[in-house]
Structure 1
Amino acid sequence: MPLWLSEDDVRSLVTPADAVPVIEDCFRRMAAGQVELMPRRRFAVDGGYFAVMAATDRGLGVAGLKSYLLVEGRIEFVVCLFDLAEGTLAAMIAADKLGQVRTGAASGVAAKHLARRGAASLGLIGAGWQAESQLAAIRAAVPSIERVVVSSRSRERAEAFAEANGTDVAESPSEAGGCDVVVTATSSKDPVLRGDWLSDGALVCAIGANDPRARELDAQVIARATVVCCDSIEDARLESGDLIEPIAAGQLDWLEVQELAQIVSGGLPGRQADTDVVVFKSNGIAPWDLAIGHEVVRRARERGVGTQLDG
């Protein structure tokens, strides 16, 4: 019988730090050709949209999809996980927390492999739900991080985030943008990070804009980047305004964009020098949802968490 895991169940089973090695292993399976994904597709509905993304992971022995519905500002997520060996539905998982955790973990993996040696500062542009897991995962993946500053359009939100997460409030967005690792985690459709703010050797993790009409990075960020990578080129061609527009303008070519999986596996070198500026464009892909879903189901069964659904 399939297992149902609620948001509270997921929250009790996994943290962003727990998820970093899970997502790192997912990237390795992607590089080995064990994973196939279907990019996100959005269907318009009254007051919002319905989205579906799917994948198979032969290394884990699972297939599945994440779907979610946004209507009038309300959003609900679910992951359906299938067991390839048994040919059965293994679990259904409420996936808001799950998505937050896996997105943060992916940036943690990027920071582990692409931050310059001895990276000591982290700047967050955005102080919302996603920024929390970005901070937790990157702190776990890069132990040399000593100082974290957060910037938000709302000073009140930045102060609340800083108090809750043990960070400082940036005096300006440029202070956050000048850190060794910079995360953009916003809902903005217009750039929030300027290339002239970046320090030599910076790693930029851009996670907020997954719409071809939206950008978090200005043109100078891409111009300064020695390495540009993403989670999936197939998906980025559809969703990454931060890459689509510079490529259309002739500033970059898709042949120059790497996939993080190839860097994690050692197939491509990634950063070459401590002074390189590196960009990781993260849209969020279904293989991550399967990987972290598989892990929370494993933990749930070990600990007796969740509800068995009638067949």
Structure 2
Amino acid sequence: MTTSHSPVFVSSDTARSVFIWKDAISALQAAYSQPVPPQSTPARSVAAVGKTWLRTLSAVPVGGRYYGAKVMGAAMGSTHPAVEYLIVLFDRETSRIAGLVDGALVTGFRTAATSAAALDRLAPRRPARLAVLGSGLEASMHVRAIASVRELTEIVVFSPTPEKRAAFAEAATRDLGVPARGVASGQEAVDGAGLVLCAARSHGELPILYGDWLAPEATIVSIGSTVPSQREIDPSVVEHSDVIVCDMLEEVLEETGDMLAAREAGIAFRDKSFSMVDLMSGKLEEQLRGAQRRMFKSVGGGLQDIVVAELILTRALEMGLATSLPIEFESKSI
């Protein structure tokens, strides 16, 4: 027996209009506060031929209504190469495709919200100055996510282009009401900062952050090294960190250029590296009490995509903003 049904589509414009940082951060903290079976959020898979690639991140969140996958692909040898993202959500109550979500903006939302969820448990609960290395979309989203969990006394940003860092600082002050300014070097931005965000890899994959720049009790968020060829932080940052929390523990430790470089430099980090579940479940309370410098290192995972996409789909449906699609999927009974 077969039946038909129609899903809905959620655009990036709709996602932007319904998204709330605090809700996403709370949902991610809840998702990581319980055991996450490895099979519920497997490592990303990549299919590639030449310069054409397709990457998939999937997850079945424990206790969530929706499960699904994000698919992204690019043909770099095409006339106009670009990357597009699609999140497919299945409804656990009906076993059917409930929605298709444009994943481009969701990817930025979930990355920043995950970082803020971790930082909220890692960083001391007091006002702090935030140093930002990078001035792109990821950096912009992270500043807004971090501002929702910590009082920021000042934002100091460095990126190579003076006009971009000035525009970034102006937008941060306008949107958040926090004094912000651009500076001419990464070291100047980081000097004395309690919170440090690395959200931009350098040209040539050279490190943009060094351990001797860091304040004694700095908390670092690093998101820019996600594969072996990418670099963002110097091995000295790994060496100077007392606790390292990773969203995908094995991927971060075994498949990111930063951690591979640290291993090659002879730095031992396995015993001070922990998962998001360790952090959210309270397992790290003793380690955190004795830690000065704490770091969160992220590669992104399907669990984050699906948790945040569920929030967005649910709110879009409640507000009547999801677009009904003039298509039907055939379902087979099982």
TM above 0.5: yes
TM-score, scaled to structure 2: 0.86
Single out whichever of 86-95 and 47-56 deviates more from structure 2.
47-56
In 1, Cα distance between equivalents of 2:253 and 2:142: 24
In 2, Cα distance between equivalents of 1:253 and 1:130: 26
Match of 1:23 in 2: 28
Q: Describe the shift of the 1:36–1:254 C-alpha distance in structure 2 as closer, same or farther (beyond 3 A).
A: farther
Instruction: Give CA-to-partner distance per residue, 1:86-116, whole Å, 9 cap, x none.
Output: 2111111001111111111111112211112
SS in 1 for 2:41: strand
RMSD: 1.9
SS in 1 for 2:216: coil
Match of 1:235 in 2: 251
Match of 1:177 in 2: 190
Contact (CA 8 Å) 2:130, 2:155: kept in 1 or not?
A: yes
Aligned AA for 1:89? I
In 2, Cα distance between equivalents of 1:218 and 1:67: 31
Contact (CA 8 Å) 2:118, 2:279: kept in 1 or not?
A: no
Match of 1:271 in 2: 288
Of 160, 165, 174, the match for 1:153: 160
Match of 1:282 in 2: 298
Contact (CA 8 Å) 1:108, 1:138: kept in 2 or not?
A: yes
Which structure has the greater CA radius of gyration? 2
Contact (CA 8 Å) 1:54, 1:287: kept in 2 or not?
A: yes
Of 23, 37, 40, the match for 1:36: 40
Q: Describe the shift of the 1:35–1:146 C-alpha distance in structure 2 as closer, same or farther (beyond 3 A).
A: farther
| % identical aligned pairs | 28
TM-score, scaled to structure 1: 0.92
The structural deviation recorded for 1:45 is: 4.3
Q: Describe the shift of the 1:36–1:248 C-alpha distance in structure 2 as closer, same or farther (beyond 3 A).
A: farther
Q: Describe the shift of the 1:43–1:176 C-alpha distance in structure 2 as closer, same or farther (beyond 3 A).
A: farther
The structural deviation recorded for 1:192 is: 0.5
Q: Pairwise mapping of residues 183-222 of structure 1 onto structure 2 (< 5 A)?
A: 183-188=197-202, 189-222=205-238
The structural deviation recorded for 1:14 is: 0.2
Match of 2:64 in 1: 60
Aligned AA for 1:28? S
The structural deviation recorded for 1:33 is: 4.4
Of 97, 113, 138, the match for 2:121: 113
Contact (CA 8 Å) 1:151, 1:173: kept in 2 or not?
A: yes
The structural deviation recorded for 1:117 is: 3.5
Single out whichever of 5-14 and 187-196 deviates more from structure 2.
187-196
In 2, Cα distance between equivalents of 1:50 and 1:27: 27
Q: Describe the shift of the 1:63–1:165 C-alpha distance in structure 2 as closer, same or farther (beyond 3 A).
A: same
The structural deviation recorded for 1:119 is: 4.1
